[in-house]
Amino acid sequence: MNTELLEKYKDYTLDSIENLMLIMKEDNLSMMQSTMLLVFKFKISITEADNYILNSKAWQDNKQSVEKFRDNIFDNIDKSDIN
């Protein structure tokens, strides 16, 4: 993780996570970059960070397309079930 990013967002806490996500999106961080920043900054799991991102106001416009994309990936994995 880029230490400059961690430094840039150092004053944010989990209590201000919605604001942090809005700022990260305005700063053109991707969902994945934002997720990883949350993991490193707050020492939370990727799953927990992903849940924060997907359920945030900042990323609400992307939630449906991300979930559809993930469902398609898992459907294709299930179909190609290699034994």
pLDDT in tens, 10-55: 989 888 889 998 999 999 998 889 999 999 999 999 999 999 998 8
Which residue's entry shows tokens 């990260």?
A: 24
Instruction: Centre a 10 Å sphere on the Cβ of residue 25 and count the other Cβ atoms it contains.
Output: 19
Phi-psi sector, 25: left (phi>0), alpha (psi -120 to 50), beta: alpha
The residue segments making up the domain with residue 58 are 3-79
pLDDT for position 83: 53
Q: What pTM value is reported for the model?
A: 0.70
Do residues 35 and 47 lie in contact, with contact meaning Cβ atoms separated by under 8 Å?
no
Q: How many domains does the chain have?
A: 1
pLDDT for position 69: 67
pLDDT for position 49: 93
